[in-house]
Structure 1
Amino acid sequence: MTDTLTWQPLELTPTDLGVAPGAAALAQHLGSATAEIDALLVANKAIVFRGFGVTADTLEPVMDRLLPNRLAYVHGNSPRTKVGDNVYTSTEYPQELTISMHNELSYAAQWPTRLLFFCAVAPATGGATPVVDGVRWLAALDEEVRAAFAGGVRYRQNLHAGYGLGKSWQETFETDSRAEVEAFLAGAGCEWEWKDDDGLRVEAVRPSTIRHPVTGDEVWFNQSDQWHPAALGDETARELAEILPPEELPQSVAFADGTPIPDAYAVQVRDRGLAAAVDVDWHEGDLMLIDNVLVGHGRRPFTGPRRVLVAMSD
């Protein structure tokens, strides 16, 4: 088992793989070493490919090898721009803010098993993608907090129809068809209600931890802190409270039975995840493949024009 206290992503260079620099050579190698890369990812939880000279124009063949079944970001709650065939910008929050640790779509009924990040433009300063071992994150929490979350988490969303705070339901589900949205939500085990203003209210209960299907490791796997106003900071939480009542917030969270999650619990989850994380700094052309169950990710503040693309697969 990986030592969670000293864990680092595995870094691979052209020399390590015995190939020439270049996206074509990397793609060819990946095509003949699928099982090897699969095993390395499970064993190391995250792999950084550095020094291969991949560009946005040469990314596609590499991505096809690492993510053979790319998924759409349906039911995603963070702001992104779709820039290709199920390829998106990383979360578009203001660059001076930290994005706390999370596993992609852990609040959904189904989530991607892999994420691939590609650095098209490196930031001038900062902008690392921190990654955290989910076993270590779980162990870092107080026993009182782990016990309180044992029953799961109830997520709540208020999605507007085109005007309002947060994302619209059309953006969230990448469709303007109510029937398609309802079919998706029914399949995902969600409860929903169409509001008088054509907005949509959604609720779903999900687990707070899961076990990896291969390793059996139990990991922290929820986004309760990101959905909790307290983890946004006192000023932001206060401003939201002045604008909207709790039941109308774009997103909120409670324990599975509806009991409020104490502010201190949400802040502890956020802070200890960030404290346990390892920063991956970006150079143009770098790629990082992560196991989305074993590893959470976030973003450090930065200056300059950072552009990191992300795609995901099952």
Structure 2
Amino acid sequence: MENDSAGTLWAPAEITPAVAGTEASTRGLVEHLGSVPDLAALLTREKALVFRGFGIEPARLDEVMDLLLPNRLAYVHGNSPRTKVGANVYTSTEYPAEYAISMHNEMSYAHQWPARLLFFCETAPHTGGATPVIDGTRWLSCLDPEVREAFRGGVRYTQNLHGGMGLGKSWQSTFETEDRERVEAFLAGSGAGWQWLPDGGLRVTQERPAIVRHPVTGDEVWFNQADQWHPAALGDDTAAALAAIMPAEELPQSVAFADGSPIPDEYVVQVRDRGLANAVDVDWQAGDLLLIDNVLVGHGRRPFTGPRRVLVAMSD
């Protein structure tokens, strides 16, 4: 549903065995998906779909993913800490459980981003751990006009990837290769700038849009990760600690406006806080699936306790 004049929040469409008219099993979901005439159109219209109550078993996840993600992609050039657990299937994040992860569109800093994301709950947390999702049009509209206009010229992302030891991710894990030539070929094709550093690390710079239009609907949406790349969004204490040990240009990741001018701290804090405040939580039960249009919908993670394990895969 769309936001209405009373301020009702959009939420993902929930599909259960009762809604689908099928049995509560992996086979039931596979049969239902096979009967959907145009899954792409359904996802575009609803923006996100929750499949709940089918009790999907991890061993049969591939059957479902083959239908929902026709061309699974590797997480190459991803900046989130993840572990690969299958054929282009990853842990959703390994960020500490006690922290929230702010809203974002997956790999919006890259030259190519996945069109769809699929999350699968293998183990539900004891408490918390919801995946909040936000309608990108609402996220854009809830920001102050001054902030929206400031970002229309785009942003410049900088990554400092170490060569095997250091703060943040290595270039080897980021690009899933030990071959420098393969990395350079990938970056050349992406329009990014790069520099090999004397310590064996790699600095990557990319200029990207901050606001985009969906290729099918034409909706204008907030689409960048400036708040996640900006030290101010880490909190005053963490930002101060980082500033004390290294200059901004040496941080694992940083961001500026596309012309190189600094982004004010208060802008990224507003983006972070209003994104989370306007999100709708998807609470997890083991066996649940969440499919999202990665341009129309941003996602994050609430803090949690217990052994939460949510896997993610993506496709173009």
3-state SS in 1 of match to 2:78? coil
Q: How does 1:4-43 map to 2 (within 5 A)?
A: 5-6=7-8, 7-35=10-38, 37-43=39-45
Q: 2:132 aligns with which of 130, 133, 142?
A: 130
Partner of 1:2: 2
Q: How does 1:235-250 map to 2 (within 5 A)?
A: 235-250=237-252
Partner of 2:167: 165
Shift of 1:3: 2.4
Q: How does 1:34-53 map to 2 (within 5 A)?
A: 34-35=37-38, 37-53=39-55
Partner of 2:284: 282
3-state SS in 2 of match to 1:57? helix
Structure 2 length as normaliser, TM-score?
Answer: 0.97
Structure 1 gaps of 5+ residues are none
Partner of 2:315: 313
Distance 2:207 2:96 in 1: 30
Shift of 1:251: 0.2
Q: How does 1:108-257 map to 2 (within 5 A)?
A: 108-257=110-259
Q: How does 1:284-299 map to 2 (within 5 A)?
A: 284-299=286-301
Distance 1:19 1:39 in 2: 21
3-state SS in 1 of match to 2:103? strand
Distance 1:78 1:211 in 2: 25
Distance 1:27 1:137 in 2: 33
1:140, 1:272 within 8 Å by CA — same for their partners in 2? yes
Distance 1:183 1:132 in 2: 35
Shift of 1:29: 2.3
Q: What amino acid does structure 1 have at the position aligned with 2:98?
A: E
Distance 2:300 2:93 in 1: 9
Aligned residues: 313
Distance 1:281 1:93 in 2: 18
Structure 2 gaps of 5+ residues are none
> What is the alpha-carbon root mean square deviation over aligned residues?
1.0
Shift of 1:31: 2.6
Q: What amino acid does structure 2 have at the position aligned with 1:52?
A: F
Distance 1:225 1:256 in 2: 15
Deviations 1:14-56 (A, max 9, x none): 1111111111221132133251x22221111110000001011
C-alpha spacing 1:271/1:259, structure 2 compared with 1 (3 Å): same
Deviations 1:133-183 (A, max 9, x none): 000000011000011111000000000000000000000000011100001
Shift of 1:298: 0.2
C-alpha spacing 1:34/1:92, structure 2 compared with 1 (3 Å): farther
3-state SS in 1 of match to 2:262? coil
Moved more, 17-26 or 258-267: 17-26
Please identify runs of 4+ aligned residues in structure 1 that moved more than 6 A.
none
1:2, 1:44 within 8 Å by CA — same for their partners in 2? no
1:2, 1:43 within 8 Å by CA — same for their partners in 2? no
Q: What amino acid does structure 2 have at the position aligned with 1:135?
A: T
3-state SS in 2 of match to 1:58? helix
Distance 1:214 1:147 in 2: 24
1:270 aligns with 2:310: no
Q: What amino acid does structure 2 have at the position aligned with 1:136?
A: R
